[in-house]
Structure 1
């Protein structure tokens, strides 16, 4: 992964400090200063998987920073405390309770942190986002493509994206063994939501774009591919590629012919796979390990959905035929 550098005049946090911060920051109240420099108390932590990076930080005092990033990915900034402002060249954007910022990292040049700031953010690979845009529109992404920088934190698609950011840090990154299926699914979902819901220079084209129909054979190829590879970290884009269509076209035709989505279809296959493994599990196997092998990292949600699908709890099926 490309390096991310922050020129922050502060004592470096220890590995245990970062680990503690990341493992506990599930609510606003969990953001708390856990280190100190000459200016005052602060915290900063970051965690990465693949090319995605989630970060969180707070400061008890005002800070003015210049930032150098050796990447051109997309950056999200939010603040639950007293706010901060982001400089992108000669333009400055305020970030606070109601407004967040989405910008390209190569435009990000400075940061003014307010006293009492409680911030979090996310770095998303630009190439993955542009691929999601291209799949949604069935076209190439032009060189001048850009997102609307300011977004509403109270309503709209940004709310779901913020929840996904926290899910990434606390559930996916919080596991000792990361599920490749869960990571691949998260990356595709996040980029698709950005492409299809956040305002950008091609949004109007997305609204008016016509959806192509596909043949039963193409739909069948996508379904057969999913059935054969559900235990692997395949994505909806992989299913669309096998069918020879775009992701958007595959999604629309799944709804038309099967009254479901490719995501729901693939998720159902993985529930069925998890149930097979649970029923035939060895005495040493656990529900948690089997669920994570199939990409389910939130055990409470997995148990509830499992019972909804099959009428029994995962623990009731564990080792039933071993």
Structure 2
């Protein structure tokens, strides 16, 4: 029998409900769509399952939340994606072919494709899950390093959120979740694509893998013409998602090399440069605005999915809020 989620506390990704059931068969079929062969063993016949599972699929990643309402053991015979699973509430334990991982406030599980996992959930455990498609992550890795991915990418199985880089990945994930939850009309495609890219880049750099040495070694320097070419590309494509693959392609160097050279010669990153260009376009739109112009629309058009952040960036750049620029334009017309 299904139940009313309004009787429970608000949950992440509530606009993306995947399951709402107390039926074990429905649960296994729903989870099996994304984790083929997943099997559940309930820990207490006296406390039936009360499942809420929400899932948002983007281009290369998926974000999910779930709770079962009872103790349970879950067996997944063969992962087909990279995954970061961590606690929203409560504790759990994961067993893999290489050992056991405690999942709680400070630790999570990282799964790699072709690995079996057994999850033992505590009664009050609620989890958040980031899944990344292997081909999408491999493409980002090649763009970042400039080297072909010849050996399968595999991660250490424990995520330690006491490490700043790993905690930053969790914060970025939660920022994306909060942005999806708070946007009634959905995020703009430009901003969403770049947030998704940031999550994948953070996934690669925050977690230990067999490519960590390559990812963290000192990058080479790009030539000045390559930095100029990147700037020209960004200026010409300011209203499109900015990807590290495109920057690597047009400049002929790895994204890490390009970002290092930007920082060294300009004092900021290509993404910071893109932000400056987009803020300039936003200002022109507001200065030329009319009664139909809205600050929110301008922000989204220029790739700023969070209106509060846009207003802060705009004020620091131009010394006034975007609403003040628009108001002055309307008064002058």
TM-score class, shorter-chain normalisation, is: 0.7 to 0.9
1:172–1:183 Cα contact (<8 Å) kept: no
Alignment of 1:74 onto 2:95: no
Alignment of 1:218 onto 2:232: no
Partner of 1:131: 139
Partner of 2:38: none
For 1:56-106, what per-residue CA distance to the aligned partner results, in whole angstroms no more than 9, with x for missing partners? 12233202233467x622111101433122344585433112211111243
Alignment of 1:265 onto 2:273: yes
Q: CA deviation at 1:237?
A: 3.1
Distance 1:17 1:233 in 2: 40
Distance 1:14 1:224 in 2: 54
- Cα 1:314/1:35, change in 2 over 3 Å: farther
1:236–1:262 Cα contact (<8 Å) kept: no
Distance 1:217 1:82 in 2: 53
TM-score, normalising length from structure 1? Answer: 0.83
Partner of 1:230: 238
Partner of 2:214: 205
Which of 285, 306, 312 is matched with 2:314 structurally? 306
| CA RMSD after TM alignment | 2.9
TM-score, normalising length from structure 2? Answer: 0.80
Distance 1:233 1:207 in 2: 25
Structure 2 segments unaligned to the other structure (5+ residues): 24-46
Which of 138, 157, 165 is matched with 2:173 structurally? 165
Partner of 1:289: 297
Which of 203, 207, 213 is matched with 1:194 structurally? 203
Count of aligned pairs between the two proteins: 302
Q: How does 1:244-283 map to 2 (within 5 A)?
A: 244-283=252-291
2:192–2:305 Cα contact (<8 Å) kept: no
Q: CA deviation at 1:285?
A: 2.3
